[in-house]
């Protein structure tokens, strides 16, 4: 028996992907660095299935159909390089290595260049949906050597999540590190969505004094409308969940958030590309601030809590505004994420299909939602759409919900409840619609102290001027450049 694909890395994701592939009729050869895990798997969850256990990379490669496909599901970073170093010398030109871990897209670009140089094909694919998704249908975002796509497509599209019309949440993303880049932005958006929900929860808990069960009812209602999404659904379930003593478990969980880095990468990339992905960056920093638990406890002792105004309005109307604010901010966050994708596409010469990316995220992954179907429609209607909030549907939606967002942020500021993601959404939206920002003054300051020059509103763009502001500076300007 020959295997359709080999998989290295039998941890939670690898095991479940193998079982998913097997359930779709594929035969899989498996290998893991700690070899005992191979036998444990083939005699345990994998027993009696079309799964071949290999005890060395050589054994793995020997049982694969040609061109050989080896998928790596190990910890991102040097483990991927170690695994490639073991597998690649055993392969022939035209064989394919797929990295399905959360690798940094720049590592993927480096590995791709190295392996293509040896005649191999290399794919870096985002895999989202966690353990459950890996088993029952993940969202898959493959990119890299396009010649590999016809070979991996039947397997990938078979195991991927499907949306209502049966379309798989997996398509070819693009060359280079495009697959892992799209996965990185997916994870950044996930940080943003989670932070927005957490801020709305904070407002309900501390401003309206709602119980977890009352909040769960609100999330349940929201999940039947435009906010219908996996994260809203699990928030409802989390709020309802009781500890052994019958009390809500959410109230007992320490408020110090962890992170594994992909949100941070999105922020760093946004800064590198000068794209204002403000909401995701705020979401990352909100986790950092939450992790400073001891410092915050100390701050309250020294500085006291914010002693803002108490909420006096109608509770029902405010809950409605919270839902609308969440929706408006979410639109803005996705607009920012797609701006980053567009910039990366321009930077690296990738032709990204934004509608197809929205479809890949529509099911299987953590940010899956009804809303992504709308995004797909917007990009399908206008593939060159430069900004999601310019699409007629989203322009109308964000404007319809703008006053609720403004109201919620205003109440939060007045009462001293931090809402960095909600407020950054509003700031970005206001900034985007301000024709004349105060950057004229910034340019004057830069020219004053550093002779950095400025453009003028009464002259064509691209002409730069320097003023001798003090009378004793020289007339020599610094060269103009963007860093
Ligand atoms: P882990 O990220 O926990 O990695 C464990 C696997 O990596 C084991 O098979 C381990 O082998 C192997 N490994 C390590 Br650690 N160092 C190695 C090395 N130097 N050489 C070879 N193998 C090595 O597993 P996971 O949670 O299943 O995630 C796999 C990948 O998928 C990661 O990149 C992760 O970020 C990504 N991902 C995870 C999720 C999720 O929900 N967990 C979701 C989406 C993507 P050993 O058994 O010998 O120690």
> What are the pLDDT digits (tens) for 324-358?
999 999 999 999 999 999 999 999 999 999 999 99
**Which CATH architecture does the domain made up of 5-172 adopt?**
3-Layer(aba) Sandwich (3.40)
pLDDT at 479: 67
pLDDT digits (tens, 9 = 90+) for 38-75: 999 999 999 999 999 999 999 999 999 999 999 999 99
Q: Would you call 247 exposed, middle or buried from its count of C-beta atoms within 10 A (0-12, 13-18, 19+)?
A: exposed
For residue 137, give every residue at least 6 positions away whose Cβ sits within 8 Å of its Cβ, in sequence order, or none.
Answer: 20, 129, 159, 160, 161, 162, 169, 363, 364
pLDDT at 310: 80
Confidence at 5, pLDDT banded by 50, 70, 90: very high
Q: State the average pLDDT for the chain.
A: 96
Question: In this structure, what DSSP letter does residue 368 have?
Answer: -
Please compute the mean of the pLDDT values over residues 185-192 and round it to a whole number.
97
Binding residues, as ranges, are: 9-14, 32-34, 74-76, 102, 128-130, 186-187, 191, 260, 287, 446, 452
Q: Could you tell me the distance, in angstroms and rounded to a whole number, from the CA of residue 306 to the centre of ligand 1? A: 43
Q: Would you call 66 exposed, middle or buried from its count of C-beta atoms within 10 A (0-12, 13-18, 19+)?
A: exposed
pLDDT at 1: 84
CATH 1.10.1040.10 residue ranges for the chain:
184-432
Q: Could you tell me the distance, in angstroms and rounded to a whole number, from the CA of residue 99 to the centre of ligand 1? A: 11
Which sign, positive or negative, has the C-alpha torsion 76, 78, 81, 85? negative
CATH 3.40.50.720 residue ranges for the chain:
5-172
For residue 228, give every residue at least 6 positions away whose Cβ sits within 8 Å of its Cβ, in sequence order, or none.
Answer: 222, 369, 370, 371
Is the pLDDT at 199 greater than 70? The verdict is yes
For residue 57, give every residue at least 6 positions away whose Cβ sits within 8 Å of its Cβ, in sequence order, or none.
Answer: 8, 31, 86, 87, 90
Question: In this structure, what DSSP letter does residue 148 have?
Answer: G
Q: Could you tell me the distance, in angstroms and rounded to a whole number, from the CA of residue 102 to the centre of ligand 1? A: 9
Q: Is 158 in the pocket of ligand 1 (CB under 6 A)?
A: no
Q: Is 101 in the pocket of ligand 1 (CB under 6 A)?
A: yes
183 catalytic residue (yes or no):
yes
For residue 435, give every residue at least 6 positions away whose Cβ sits within 8 Å of its Cβ, in sequence order, or none.
Answer: none
Question: In this structure, what DSSP letter does residue 252 have?
Answer: G
**What are φ and ψ of residue 287, in 5° steps?**
-65, -40
pLDDT at 329: 98
For residue 47, give every residue at least 6 positions away whose Cβ sits within 8 Å of its Cβ, in sequence order, or none.
Answer: none
Confidence at 312, pLDDT banded by 50, 70, 90: confident
108: closest CA among 139, 86, 77? 77
CATH 1.20.5.320 residue ranges for the chain:
435-482
Q: Is 81 in the pocket of ligand 1 (CB under 6 A)?
A: no
Q: Could you tell me the distance, in angstroms and rounded to a whole number, from the CA of residue 79 to the centre of ligand 1? A: 8
The two tokens of residue 454 are 């400025």
190 catalytic residue (yes or no):
yes
Q: Is 75 in the pocket of ligand 1 (CB under 6 A)?
A: yes
pLDDT digits (tens, 9 = 90+) for 243-288: 999 999 999 999 999 998 889 999 999 999 999 999 999 999 999 9
**Which CATH architecture does the domain made up of 435-482 adopt?**
Up-down Bundle (1.20)
pLDDT digits (tens, 9 = 90+) for 368-389: 999 999 999 999 999 999 999 9
Answer CATH for 184-432 from 1.10.1040.10, 3.30.70.360, 1.20.58.340, 3.40.1410.10: 1.10.1040.10
Confidence at 481, pLDDT banded by 50, 70, 90: low
Annotated catalytic residue: which of 190, 226, 282, 402? 190
Q: Would you call 200 exposed, middle or buried from its count of C-beta atoms within 10 A (0-12, 13-18, 19+)?
A: buried
Which atom of ligand 1 sits closest to the CA of residue 128?
44
Is the pLDDT at 196 greater than 60? The verdict is yes
CB count, 10 Å around CB of 253? 10
């Amino acid at each position: 028996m020959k295997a359709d694909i080999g998989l290295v890395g039998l941890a939670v994701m690898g095991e479940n992907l193998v079982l998913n592939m097997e359930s779709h009729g594929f035969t899989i050869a498996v290998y893991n660095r700690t070899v005992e895990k191979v036998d444990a798997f083939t005699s345990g969850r994998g027993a009696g299935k079309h799964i071949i256990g290999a005890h060395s990379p050589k054994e793995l490669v020997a049982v694969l159909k040609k061109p050989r496909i080896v998928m790596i599901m190990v910890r991102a970073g040097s483990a991927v390089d170690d695994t490639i170093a073991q597998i690649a010398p055993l392969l022939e030109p035209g064989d394919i290595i797929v990295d399905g871990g959360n690798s940094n897209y720049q590592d993927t670009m480096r590995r791709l260049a190295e392996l293509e140089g040896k005649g191999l094909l290399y794919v870096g694919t985002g895999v989202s949906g966690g353990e459950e998704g890996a088993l029952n249908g993940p969202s898959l975002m493959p990119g890299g050597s396009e010649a590999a796509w016809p070979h991996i497509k039947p397997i990938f599209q078979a195991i991927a999540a499907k949306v209502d019309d049966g379309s798989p949440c997996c398509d070819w993303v693009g060359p280079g590190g495009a697959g892992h880049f799209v996965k990185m932005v997916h994870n950044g958006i996930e940080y943003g969505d989670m932070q927005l929900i957490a801020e709305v929860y904070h407002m309900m808990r501390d401003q309206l004094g709602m119980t977890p069960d009352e909040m769960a009812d609100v999330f349940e209602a929201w999940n039947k409308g435009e906010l219908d999404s996996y994260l809203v659904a699990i928030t409802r379930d989390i709020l309802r969940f009781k500890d052994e003593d019958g009390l809500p478990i959410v109230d007992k969980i320490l408020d110090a958030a962890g992170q594994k880095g992909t949100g941070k990468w999105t922020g760093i990339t946004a800064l590198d590309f000068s794209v204002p992905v403000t909401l995701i960056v705020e979401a990352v920093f909100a986790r950092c601030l939450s992790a400073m638990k001891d410092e915050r406890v100390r701050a309250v002792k020294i500085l006291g809590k914010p002693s803002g105004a108490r909420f006096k309005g109608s509770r029902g109307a405010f809950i409605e505004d919270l839902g609308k604010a969440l929706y408006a901010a979410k639109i803005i966050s996705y607009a920012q994420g797609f701006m980053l994708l567009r910039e990366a596409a321009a930077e690296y010469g990738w032709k990204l299909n934004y509608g197809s990316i929205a479809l890949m995220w529509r099911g299987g992954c953590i940010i899956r939602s009804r809303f992504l179907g709308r995004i797909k429609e917007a990009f399908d209607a206008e593939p060159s759409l430069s900004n999601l909030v310019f699409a007629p549907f989203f322009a109308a939606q964000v404007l319809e919900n703008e006053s609720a967002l403004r109201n919620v942020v205003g109440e939060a500021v007045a009462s001293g409840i931090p809402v960095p993601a909600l407020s950054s959404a509003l700031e970005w939206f206001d900034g985007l619609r301000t024709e004349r920002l105060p950057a004229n003054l910034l340019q004057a300051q830069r020219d004053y102290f550093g002779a950095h020059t400025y453009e003028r509103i009464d002259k064509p763009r691209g002409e730069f001027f320097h003023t001798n502001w003090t009378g004793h500076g020289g007339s020599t300007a610094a060269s103009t450049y963007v860093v």
